[in-house]
Amino acid sequence: MSEHAKDGTVVADHSRPKGEYKMMILLLIICVALFVDSLRSEGIFQGHSAGPGSIPQLVGGLTILMILGLAIQFFRQGYKEGSLKDLAHHLFDREVVILMVTLTIYGFIVEAIHFVPATFLFLLTTMYLLDPKKFWLKVLVSAGTLAALYLIFSTLFRVVLP
């Protein structure tokens, strides 16, 4: 919704892009499918807190709840859904295209140059293309995120990274 100053001028426009409900339905279908697939592995829902399906079940369940919560929030705020054309415009926005292209390239190079350098380059490149300011901060954030991921998965969970 738009906020207005005392003189009636618009201060900020917080309107949502049209097509959000359609996108939420698509994400909900994907998340439910992934959640159902995670139920095939032992995990929280099978009574094994440390099973291989525990994290996917927890993340999948929480993601489904967040999507439903967001849909309820939009409904309460009176969000008006747009057309499929509005959704296509929203989905092929500059930022979305940048993210999809860098993610696709990451998928192709991660095995060739391995997880650590590929992930660092993916994070740094994506953040820089989305906002080219403060390059060195992006280097630090990329390195810090990668260090945290490495410590969590390689050290704590002892997962072999690609």
Q: How confident is the model at residue 82 (pLDDT cuts 50, 70, 90)?
A: confident
Which 3 state secondary structure label does DSSP give 4?
strand
**What pTM did the predictor assign?**
0.55
Given a cut of 50, whether residue 86 has pLDDT beyond it is yes
Cα-only R_g, the chain: 20
Given a cut of 60, whether residue 89 has pLDDT beyond it is yes
Structural contact between residues 74 and 86, judged by C-beta atoms closer than 8 angstroms: no
Q: How does pLDDT run across 112-129, given as a tens digit for each residue?
A: 999 999 999 999 999 999
DSSP 159: P
Mean pLDDT across the chain: 84
Query: Could you give the C-alpha distances from 98 to 17, 106, 113, 115, 122, in angstroms and in order?
Result: 18, 12, 21, 20, 11
Q: How does pLDDT run across 90-115, given as a tens digit for each residue?
A: 778 888 889 989 999 999 999 899 99
pLDDT > 90: percent of the chain: 41
Query: Could you give the C-alpha distances from 114 to 9, 45, 106, 127, in angstroms and in order?
Result: 53, 33, 10, 20
